[in-house]
Amino acid sequence: MRIATWNINSVRTREQRVRDFLERTDVDVLCLQETKCTDKQFPDFTDTGYQQAHFGLHSFNGVAILSRVGLEDVSHDFGQPGFNKDFAAEQTLEARAIGANCGGVTVWSLYVPNGREIADPHYTYKLDWLAALASYAEQGPDKLCLVGDFNIAPRDEDVWDRSYFNGKTHVTPRERAALKKLEEAGLTQATELIQDEYTYWDYQSLRFQKGEGIRIDLQYTRGITATSARVDRDERKGKGASDHAPVIVDYDYQAPKANTAGSQETEAAPHDGADSSNTTEATLF
């Protein structure tokens, strides 16, 4: 079973890139983050032979799953907190998670909160969000795959210059401890198979051209074993690329091919309320 995760940074802008990626990589499941559109605006990829589910509320955030091995029991709530910068107001659920049963494996496409700055309320929100994810994982299904943009570099080696990040998010002990909680819940970081490869390069300051990246796009699994993993670095090249590269992992698990002929788009369960935050994600650099 081949599962890929990709922060697409606007799926409508990069629809053809997604189509080309599906055709050339032979993935069974593709998880997208930062689709930056509502459910109605999400492109229809079902003509490619993949079923799809999307959760998006506004022109920021947004997550999706495309699967050719089945897409059942779609959900966007694993018990995570919502967010509102006014803590006295209702904390509404953001479009940061969508999960489904894909060929017998519960797969979640996750866009972990950025954290912004250590003193920012969004940093606490990030830690609380990850704590809820670990709690879900501890009690979750036997075959589980949590993938996406985690906005945390697990090791110092996963950033091009550790000193650049002094006093910044993405590398703090508390964030890394939150990732360790996933392992304590019985998950393995499948993307540890990738050595010396980054997955994100900011558009600013020619980061990609200089090789100044970070590894924050990860896959955590239980019940299926990763046999190989790679970063599709070529997808970060060229005009119109996302600032993230896809991360592709092969698992020693044979999922049945779903018959998607004539299938309709699978939608997430209805959600209550809307994201009340009026701020977009802060750029890391």
Which of 246, 284, 2, 282 shows the shortest CA–CA distance to 153?
Answer: 284
Q: Which residues are annotated as a binding site for Mg(2+)?
A: 7, 34, 149, 151, 243-244
Provide the token pair at 137.
């994982």
Task: Give me the catalytic one of 39, 50, 76, 111.
Answer: 111
Supply 58's token pair.
């506004």
φ/ψ of residue 131, rounded to 5: -65, -40
Around 178, how many Cα atoms within 13 Å sit in the side-chain half-sphere? 24
- What is the rounded CA–CA span in Å between residue 232 and residue 210? 17
How far apart CA 8 and CA 52 sit, in angstroms, is 15
| 122 counts as catalytic | no
Q: Do 275 and 94 form a contact (C-beta atoms < 8 A)?
A: yes
Q: Does residue 156 carry a catalytic annotation? A: no
Residues in the annotated binding site: 7, 34, 149, 151, 243-244
- Of 201, 203, 258, 264, nearest to 233 by C-alpha is 201
d(CA 148, CA 157): 19
**Letter for the amino acid at 134?**
A
Nearest alpha carbon to residue 106 among 53, 150, 183, 37: 53
Catalytic residue among 54, 200, 244, 275: 244
Q: Which residue out of 76, 123, 136, 149 is catalytically annotated?
A: 149
- Residues that are catalytic: 111, 149, 244
